[in-house]
Structure 1
């Protein structure tokens, strides 16, 4: 199967659509089709996209051109999504994409929570594609769409009160306090996250930041198997958001790795605080399922979050991670 051609065709189809639908629901298709292609199912990309296409909306209209002079005014303004995407399309056309990413990553990182963390996840999928295959126009455009969406939905949080932490990512996630307000959407709940355990706040070498980020992705993925019932969709992002950051690290200067870890930790911990259930359930690791079989189950199920969590679970690559992917299939309604 021509993975490059198939994925590029799918991305070209998707770039005629906006990054959101129905006000603020995210268009997950670019992330899901990239995951399917990366997992050896490029043959299923267009069929899956045909099913998902009914949920897409037209590309939004622009308001005013974003420039190197006025970008501060447009940051975090969702009405400017088209303006931001156009800005980054020009940037990646005129400069090496790694240079653009390296300049804008530290500017965007404080707003990792915007769009329920979907923009950084979309960027992570785009970067993986650029690092692993041909650098084509549709793939550069996908990076521009992801960065533009992130800039438009950029959402920082106020300084968080540090709480006592733990030595491991899994233990630190276990110490995250649930917020008292257990209703409302992501932005409303985020306003109630005011304190998180310390785990990745200290200065460290880039290699240690990378090691800890790998550990965080594993811990958050494993935790979904026992805690995903708190909110089957939103808790996916506690794993996929830090994994997006992990996938982006190889394209970034090493000096940015520690701050990237800290942002990934606070995003994962914040999602945990907002949606974790009061009690865990027992997880039974799946020793009789192969990764390919789990991918096939995810594709048959069809839900975009299931596909993305499965993709992250395969990065982790152990039994508890595959069990988390299967748990997502059990909790989530399949695409009709």
Structure 2
């Protein structure tokens, strides 16, 4: 556990900014500083934030309060980001954070595609932070994360196709969308059918095992398929991993629905950005996990750091190779 207070300082800096810029692009700063802290690099968070600060915009204006009576009509309205953040700030001040999460997780889970899946990814990072140490800035970050998810809530309905027994084989069965769609939202609207995988799972422990399998499969797949779109395909693994790292904070009856939502998100991103053919990849050297994180940090790109965070969770050499592949393919922060 990092007790330096650097994560708290970084979050307080970040919370003066909104969760997006240019009307759509996600602010990755809270996720990156949490990932660095979780992997022993809290000493780097302020320097990284200094490099990233030009990508931050002011916090948006408030419209009208979100309440227990009107929240349903405000769900999925991005104009209400500040209102939703205020709502969760008040709620988390009044009730234990796990109780709030348990109440809102099933409401928000169908819309985890919002903000190009960054809504659930940010919540996953916030949950790991507050579960490690419950401080005021970490609770505030959970409020910001849940508020962003509620404001960008975006459900998707698809037709089910036959899948395969394993996550890896079912990812291979995902059909690509028709060409010609630009931008995440247009591509997501073109996802009409996805294979079914693990739909029969209802037992919570089996759901955890399958979700762990999914995170491993998507991380491994990035090494050979990430060239399809090096940035966007990161979310095929970081989104389900955000769900996985949240399970222990949730009631067990929510684990199986969480698995199913995570699969659909990973499959949808695969359909939207997967390449026609894989490319064999072998890193030039086998590096220790801390060396891989050092390379990601030196590179600086927010998606590289977050993929590396997930790769270190998976922990095997193929996952570390995926992280190194992202370093090679992505534009550095500076």
Scaled by the length of structure 2, the TM-score of the pair is 0.98
- Cα displacement (A) at 1:99: 0.3
C-alpha spacing 1:252/1:300, structure 2 compared with 1 (3 Å): same
- Contact 2:201–2:207 (CA<8 Å) still a contact in 1? no
Aligned mates of 2:55, 2:270 — CA distance in 1: 28
> Does residue 239 of the first structure (1) align with residue 237 of the second (2)?
yes
**Equivalent position of 2:10 in the other structure:** 10
**Equivalent position of 1:193 in the other structure:** 191
Partner of 2:245, secondary structure, is helix
C-alpha spacing 1:182/1:169, structure 2 compared with 1 (3 Å): farther
Task: For residues 204-237 of structure 1, give each alpha carbon's deviation from its aligned partner in whole angstroms, at most 9, with x where no partner exists.
Answer: 2000000000000000000000010100100000
Aligned mates of 1:182, 1:233 — CA distance in 2: 18
Alignment gaps of 5+ in structure 2: none
- Contact 1:287–1:319 (CA<8 Å) still a contact in 2? no
- Cα displacement (A) at 1:54: 1.3
- Contact 2:161–2:194 (CA<8 Å) still a contact in 1? yes
- Contact 1:285–1:320 (CA<8 Å) still a contact in 2? no
C-alpha spacing 1:71/1:246, structure 2 compared with 1 (3 Å): same
- Cα displacement (A) at 1:202: 1.8
**Equivalent position of 2:40 in the other structure:** 40
- Contact 1:182–1:274 (CA<8 Å) still a contact in 2? no
Partner of 2:257, secondary structure, is helix
> Does residue 303 of the first structure (1) align with residue 301 of the second (2)?
yes
Aligned mates of 2:96, 2:131 — CA distance in 1: 13
- Contact 1:286–1:319 (CA<8 Å) still a contact in 2? no
Aligned mates of 1:181, 1:80 — CA distance in 2: 33
C-alpha spacing 1:201/1:182, structure 2 compared with 1 (3 Å): farther
Partner of 1:274, secondary structure, is helix
- Contact 1:113–1:154 (CA<8 Å) still a contact in 2? yes
Partner of 1:283, secondary structure, is coil
- Cα displacement (A) at 1:288: 2.1
**Equivalent position of 1:136 in the other structure:** 135
C-alpha spacing 1:175/1:286, structure 2 compared with 1 (3 Å): farther
> Does residue 278 of the first structure (1) align with residue 284 of the second (2)?
no
- Contact 2:237–2:310 (CA<8 Å) still a contact in 1? yes
Q: Which residue, out of 214, 221, 224, partners 2:222?
A: 224
- Cα displacement (A) at 1:55: 1.0
- Contact 1:214–1:246 (CA<8 Å) still a contact in 2? yes
What does 1:72-111 align with in structure 2 at a 5 Å threshold? 72-111=72-111
C-alpha spacing 1:3/1:228, structure 2 compared with 1 (3 Å): farther
Number of residue pairs aligned between Structure 1 and Structure 2 = 334
Aligned mates of 1:88, 1:167 — CA distance in 2: 39
Partner of 2:160, secondary structure, is strand
Partner of 1:162, secondary structure, is strand
Partner of 1:89, secondary structure, is helix
**Equivalent position of 2:64 in the other structure:** 64
What does 1:96-175 align with in structure 2 at a 5 Å threshold? 96-132=96-132, 134-158=133-157, 160-175=158-173
C-alpha spacing 1:71/1:86, structure 2 compared with 1 (3 Å): same
**Equivalent position of 2:265 in the other structure:** 267
Alignment gaps of 5+ in structure 1: none
Partner of 1:176, secondary structure, is coil
- Contact 2:127–2:142 (CA<8 Å) still a contact in 1? yes
Aligned mates of 1:209, 1:324 — CA distance in 2: 25
Aligned mates of 2:111, 2:316 — CA distance in 1: 31
- Cα displacement (A) at 1:291: 0.4
Runs of at least 4 residues off by over 6 Å: none
- Contact 1:225–1:327 (CA<8 Å) still a contact in 2? yes
Partner of 2:246, secondary structure, is helix
- Contact 1:206–1:258 (CA<8 Å) still a contact in 2? yes
Partner of 1:259, secondary structure, is helix
- Cα displacement (A) at 1:200: 2.3
Aligned-residue RMSD, C-alpha: 1.1
- Contact 1:3–1:42 (CA<8 Å) still a contact in 2? no
